[in-house]
């Protein structure tokens, strides 16, 4: 997996037996500054066809190296799922991931499933989100309604087993930006929620932020980077409040908007468990607020279910690849809006 | 198949039983002027990622429509091979074909093999030519050495069964340009070689053209559009000779350089048959000169072997798709320079 955060390449080595999924290993390989710049230079902008073609093959080499490094440590694999790097995405219309699967297959000698999003769009869907299918597969329970919550830059939930999935609002994005500001770029995030713990919640500011109509809008809905990006953070800083107070307030906002979604949009499903993954699962402040906001819901991290909170997305694309290999559909029309379940991706032998 | 000539989409419907290949039907759908312009606008030039992503999906829709139109006439198919439109190609480094296979698969309900060239490049090859594999499969004979000759814009030959393949020099490109000039754009080519038949060969000019060291260089070698394009034609016109004489001379040049390749570069294989396909197979002047230059070689067109001369390339990608579906390699390292035979393409179920 390599996400739009451009951190780099996450490799999860997974053993799948029917519905049993075991994580054998997980390894991250950061992109070099040069590669990060090259990806930004072709993303959603003016470029040359030559540069896209070159980068497609170059990323293929990087993916192959990352897989080979993980396999040297954790042993060989039989199938690779490769999400690729999204350089353009317009849900419902078209999408473009690069990172040549032929290069990955040729270097590793292992079949590759790639290009997962195009078929869902061809079937009328948004091409995203694709992870809810995996949430349902991993966390389904015969009697309980569970919610899988991923706290990345944006926070999103999947209701299990119904497969309803949407963005609840901010995840770590604003907290991270404020923590960078507070630590003068020595920290990229609020490690263990320590800064938030030192600050005080500013109730008027929280109320003002919660007034955003997004939180009361019915799903399906999705929140973009632009919603909680530079402009949002500048607005917070301009209040003149101490940064720890802003971080504390942003932390509560994340938990409160998640809780709002659980207690309003999906309350009718009577969820019993909330299973947290993503970077936010490392933040005890977010978890504590969630527990306080949702007294009737059992809180756990995906690690409690055997799924490393950081590896979950990479694990998801291993599972999606396995589905495709067995010729099984793996989009959830309830999550993507597609007309029907379809077999995702392309197979390179 | 949709080639770099940007004529449009060729659909061949083929029935394959082991090594027996039968053409059920062939249909061409020209590109609209708008699509032709859109492809040129992203080919090998500055563009936006958004436009490439859009055109990738749009071409997928056009390919799907072309296949559906052919299937309405000739009946359903079980597998589709889709070459896509090349918008960048640097042999040995990288290549980029667009025309989203997920769209073709979703619209038709038929699995698609696409993106044939990338794996050969990943294996160290030029990603081209790929048709020689099919030539060997279609025309192989237990005792005879055959040569498959395709006369498109450029002419190329495949020695069968050795699989040596290279461009011999000009095909129709210069003849076509001169015919357009002579007919003031009322004709795009010298239909049935009639203009050449009226002209006289200019021997000094032919000798001068044959002095190009390309024709004596050992294979592997490939000739580009630039070699016989606008500059070459301008040079011919500037001789001041009557256009029919130039067309007659260019026609002999095509035949002479093919014959030169057969009698020098590949003479050691003692070829017995020359099997002609491509637009040039319709030109009796070229065929007559070939027969005269190669008295010991039996001349035939691919149609004599059951392969429509215009449909051959489209038929080739049906056969290449079939190979991939059966998990069989289908590049010829002797033709592409790849380190090993590899299974080409990506499968969209």
* Calpha distance A291→B149 (Å, rounded): 75
Classify the C-alpha dihedral B141-B145-B151-B155 as positive or negative: positive
User: Average pLDDT of B258-263?
Assistant: 97
Task: Give the chain A residue nearest B342 (alpha carbons).
Answer: A106
* Calpha distance B189→B195 (Å, rounded): 10
Residues in chain B closer than 8 A to A126 (CB atoms): none
Interacting residues of A153 by C-beta distance below 8 A, sequence separation 6+: A5, A171, A172, A173, A176, A225, A228
Task: Give the chain A residue nearest B40 (alpha carbons).
Answer: A49
**What pLDDT is recorded for position A68?**
98
Tell me which DSSP letter residue A305 carries: G
Categorize the per-residue pLDDT at B6 as very low, low, confident or very high, splitting at 50, 70 and 90.
confident
User: Average pLDDT of B251-268?
Assistant: 96
For residue B233, CA distances in Å to A204, A306, B172, B225 come to 78, 70, 12, 12
* Strand pairing class (B146-151; B154-160): antiparallel
Categorize the per-residue pLDDT at B203 as very low, low, confident or very high, splitting at 50, 70 and 90.
very high
CB contact under 8 A, A46 and B48: yes
Classify the C-alpha dihedral A72-A75-A80-A81 as positive or negative: negative
ipTM for the predicted complex: 0.91
pLDDT in tens, A199-212: 999 999 999 999 99
> How many degrees, rounded to 5, is the angle at CA B139 between CA B323 and CA B171?
100
Give the residue from A49, A320, A323 with the most B CB atoms within 10 Å of its CB, the best one to mutate: A49
Q: What is the CA radius of gyration of chain B?
A: 20
pTM higher than the cut 0.90:
yes
**Beta bridge mates, A148:** A158, A275
pLDDT in tens, B48-64: 999 999 999 999 999 99
Residue written as token pair 């009639």: B194
Domain ranges of chain B: 8-128+311-348, 132-305
Interacting residues of A280 by C-beta distance below 8 A, sequence separation 6+: A151, A152, A155, A171, A172, A254, A286
More confident residue, A6 or A74: A74
Task: Give the chain B residue nearest A109 (alpha carbons).
Answer: B342
Categorize the per-residue pLDDT at B189 as very low, low, confident or very high, splitting at 50, 70 and 90.
very high
More confident residue, A17 or A69: A69
SS3 at position A97: strand
**Can you list the pairs that A299-306 forms with residues at least 24 positions away whose Cβ atoms lie under 8 Å?**
A299/A273, A299/A274, A300/A273, A300/A274, A300/A275, A300/A276, A301/A275, A301/A276, A301/A277, A302/A138, A302/A148, A302/A275, A302/A276, A302/A277, A304/A275, A305/A138, A305/A139, A305/A275, A306/A21, A306/A22, A306/A23
DSSP calls for B145-189: -EEEEEESSEEEEEEETT--EEEEEE-SHHHHHHHHHHTTTS-SS
**What pLDDT is recorded for position A5?**
78
Is the pLDDT at A80 greater than 90? The verdict is: yes
Is the pLDDT at B224 greater than 80? The verdict is: no
| Fold observed for domain B8-128+311-348 | Nucleotidyltransferase; domain 5 (3.30.420)
Structure tokens at A202: 């500013």
In angstroms, how far is the first alpha carbon of chain B from the final one?
19
- For A106, the closest of B60, B94, B123 (CB atoms) is B123
CB contact under 8 A, A49 and B43: yes
Backbone angles phi, psi at B247, to 5 degrees: -65, -40
* Calpha distance B296→B293 (Å, rounded): 9
CATH of domain B132-305: 3.30.420.40
Inter-chain contacts counted by CB atoms under 8 A, chains A and B: 135
**What pLDDT is recorded for position B229?**
84
Residue written as token pair 């078929």: A119
SS3 at position B74: helix
More confident residue, A221 or B84: B84
**What pLDDT is recorded for position A226?**
76
Q: Residue B129: is the preceding peptide bond cis (ω within 30°)?
A: yes
pLDDT in tens, A170-191: 999 999 999 999 999 999 899 9
**What pLDDT is recorded for position A170?**
95
């Amino acid at each position: 997996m390599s996400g739009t955060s451009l951190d780099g390449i996450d490799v999860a080595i997974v053993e799948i037996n029917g519905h049993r999924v075991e994580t054998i290993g997980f390894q991250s390989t950061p992109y070099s500054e040069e590669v990060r710049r090259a990806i930004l230079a072709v993303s959603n902008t003016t470029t040359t066809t030559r540069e896209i073609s070159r980068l497609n093959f170059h990323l293929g080499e990087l993916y192959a190296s990352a897989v080979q490094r993980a396999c040297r440590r954790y042993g060989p694999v039989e199938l690779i799922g490769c999400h690729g790097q999204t350089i353009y995405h317009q849900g419902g219309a078209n999408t473009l991931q690069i990172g040549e699967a032929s290069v990955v297959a040729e270097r590793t000698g292992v079949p590759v499933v790639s290009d997962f999003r195009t078929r869902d769009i061809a079937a009328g869907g948004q091409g995203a989100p694709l992870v809810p299918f995996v949430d349902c597969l991993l966390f389904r329970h015969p009697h309980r309604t569970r919610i899988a919550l991923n706290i990345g830059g944006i926070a999103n939930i999947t209701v299990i087993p119904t497969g309803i999935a949407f963005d609840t609002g901010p995840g770590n994005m604003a907290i991270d930006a404020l923590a960078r500001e507070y630590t003068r770029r020595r920290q990229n995030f609020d490690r263990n929620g320590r800064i938030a713990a030192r600050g005080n919640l500013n109730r008027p500011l929280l109320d003002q932020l919660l007034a955003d109509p997004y939180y009361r809008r019915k799903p399906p809905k999705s929140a973009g980077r632009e919603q909680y990006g530079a402009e949002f953070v500048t607005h917070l800083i301009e209040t003149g409040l101490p940064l720890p107070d802003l971080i504390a307030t942003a932390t509560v906002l994340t938990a409160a908007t998640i809780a709002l979604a659980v207690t309003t949009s999906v309350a009718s499903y009577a969820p019993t468990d909330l299973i947290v993954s993503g970077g936010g699962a490392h933040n005890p402040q977010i978890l504590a607020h969630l527990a306080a906001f949702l007294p009737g819901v059992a809180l756990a991290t995906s690690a409690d279910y055997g799924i490393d909170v950081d590896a979950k997305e990479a694990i998801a694309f291993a599972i999606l690849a396995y589905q495709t290999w067995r010729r099984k559909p793996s989009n959830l029309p309830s999550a993507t809006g597609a007309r029907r379940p379809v077999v995702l991706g392309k197979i390179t032998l």
